[in-house]
Structure 1
Amino acid sequence: MVEIIEKGQYHTGDFSEELTSAEEGNRHIGTKLLFRNDEVGVWEVRLQPGERGGFHLHDRHYFWTVVKGGIGKQRTADGVYHIRRYEEGDTSFLPHTPSDSVIHDFENAGDSEIRFITVELYD
């Protein structure tokens, strides 16, 4: 089960270009696109300690599963961040739509590689 270690605020101005790109439709949701067809996109998220995936948009249903656990820091567009502990096998489904979208980044805040598989579901 994912554990929240810390929650706080950050200054969105530090990421203004990335946030604008995400608002304009940046859907690069992983570090490597493994597969895509008309129904799904399968992404790998693989980050070394200190490495960060930039802000991106989720406006479709998706789920992720942790392949290699660790500590992750996620910032959302509203200026809030969460630091969480992820364990192998943790999985979450997020039912986002164009009218209920989310913009966030993801940073490896731990001391070893972290790895997820994320599957985006297309209509």
Structure 2
Amino acid sequence: MPNEPCLENFSDWSTERRQEIVENWSNRQVGSRVVSETDNLRIWHLELQPGERAPFHRHQESYFWTVIGEGKSRSHYHDGAIRDTNYQPGDTRHYDIREGDFFVHDLENIGSTTLVFVTVEFKR
């Protein structure tokens, strides 16, 4: 696993965002707060008001998220990609992340409604 991102794909990003991904490269806080944790899983709650942004964080364990209401987000990924996503209540996405793999991204609420997610990480 790389110790830091290769910034050659980030020419469209602000200096501040480029610095933030470097500083948060190992950040494992994938939500606002942990609401439950066992030996096998960790459940996170994330709430973002319109215009609010969750900082860059690393996903390196399999997980899924479910969104509670409708909304729209933008994420910047460690490979330089930028993706906008529209959500409907109950949308769920699963990620099977193999040992040694990971991805890093941020999450910005670019819609007009509060985004609320429940994320469940499966511990190795």
TM bucket, shorter chain? 0.7 to 0.9
Instruction: Quote how far apart the aligned CAs of 1:17 are.
Output: 3.5
Secondary structure (helix, strand or coil) at the match of 1:60 reads: coil
Give 1:3's aligned residue.
Answer: none
Instruction: Quote how far apart the aligned CAs of 1:84 are.
Output: 1.1
Name the % identity.
32
Gaps of 5+ in 1: 1-8
Instruction: Quote how far apart the aligned CAs of 1:98 are.
Output: 4.1
Give 2:23's aligned residue.
Answer: 21
Take 1:45 and 1:96, find their aligned partners in 2: how far apart are those partners? 20
The one-letter code of the counterpart of 1:21 is E
Take 2:37 and 2:112, find their aligned partners in 1: how far apart are those partners? 31
Q: Deviations over 1:26-83 (max 9, x none)?
A: 1000112111121111001110000000000000000001111201111101221111
- TM-score, normalisation: structure 2: 0.84
Gaps of 5+ in 2: 1-10
- Structure with greater proportional strand content: 1
In structure 2, the CA distance between the partners of 1:103 and 1:110, relative to structure 1 (3 Å rule), is same
Q: Indicate the RMSD between aligned Cα atoms, in angstroms.
A: 1.6
Q: How many residues matched?
A: 114
Take 1:10 and 1:77, find their aligned partners in 2: how far apart are those partners? 13
